[in-house]
Structure 1
Amino acid sequence: MRTDPNGRFAPTPDALHPNGNNKKCLDVRGAVFANGTPVQIYDCNQTPAQQWVIRRGNTRVRLAGTNFCLDAGSSPANGVELKIWECFSNLPAQEWVYTDDNRIALEGQGFCVDLTGGDLTNGNPVQEWKCTDFDANQIWTQPTLLD
């Protein structure tokens, strides 16, 4: 494990899995690293399109090795598809909280990263949806954060 310049442990890039399914990953569609590219569910393939940096608590969800972050858009609502966008400090659409129960919630907005319809088919878009306790479609695990 690495440390950041302040001596804290730095998160290790890794895949984000829906509800602990380690065969499926949060993926940047077509591995196109550009503003507005949608994120989707896809078979895990260890490519850069599936390597995310995330911390417990307040965080940005950054695509490793890039300056792109998971972005909820300017008008959060049920069913809005998530995308990547250039990372900006203090941008509400990129301010997330990775909870102890493995939800990724848009800070102060009441929306969570959600597997659309619970569908694990390759290419299924990932959306934001009202955070709901015990909703398996809103559980995201990263092996490097599991103890």
Structure 2
Amino acid sequence: MAPVAPIDLVPSPIATGGGLLVTGNGLCLDLRGAEASEGRDVHIDDCNGTSPQRWKLNANRTLEVLGMCAYLVGDGTVELTGCDGRTTAQWQLMSDGVLTNAANGRCLTDPFWGARPGNAVVVATCTGGSNQRWSFR
């Protein structure tokens, strides 16, 4: 029998994407108040397909909605800011669905595992749970 090449199990980065950004628990990344403005909280909510739920991961690794970008605040929360490419506003979506922040390597997380639509997302230690798995639809 011929030797079989090993399978690479390390997740690989996904360069870009766009659309509804959905958690493994079926909720969508959204904006509080449905407006894009500096300091606006980013949260999860029931998916409705409106423009505040239509995100895009750009080639420069920014995560953009309505012309503004999601960034990591010092306390681990996520808010909107101008898309200026700062490290705290750079994200990497991996093939296994985890979305990590470039500033600290931690994962975008739904802290309530889909149980509380409307609550803010946070950046936390990566555990691989469904509350840290994201996909564009």
Tell me, yes or no, if structure 1 residue 35 matches structure 2 residue 38: yes
| 1:92-118 deviation per Cα after TM superposition (whole angstroms, max 9, x unaligned) | 111111111111101251211000131
Q: Give the CA deviation at 1:54.
A: 1.7
How far apart, in 1, do the equivalents of 2:129 and 2:25 lie?
13
Deviation at 1:141, TM superposition (A): 1.0
Give 1:54's aligned residue: 57
Contact 2:69 2:83 (C-alpha < 8 Å) held by counterparts: yes
TM-score, normalisation: structure 1: 0.74
Q: Any stretches of 5+ residues in structure 1 without a counterpart?
A: 1-9
Matched positions, count: 123
**Counterpart-to-counterpart distance in 2, 1:102 and 1:43:** 19
Higher CA-based Rg:
2
Going from structure 1 to structure 2, the CA distance change for 1:115 and 1:20 (only over 3 Å counts) comes to closer
Cα shift readout 1:46-76 (whole Å, capped 9, x = no counterpart): 1111000126x8721111xx32011112x3x
Matches within 5 A, 1:1-147: 13-19=18-24, 21=26, 24-54=27-57, 59-63=61-65, 66-73=66-73, 75=74, 80-89=76-85, 91-107=86-102, 109-132=104-127, 134-143=128-137
Moved over 4 A (4+): none
Percent of residue pairs bearing the same amino acid type: 26
Aligned with 2:100: secondary structure? strand
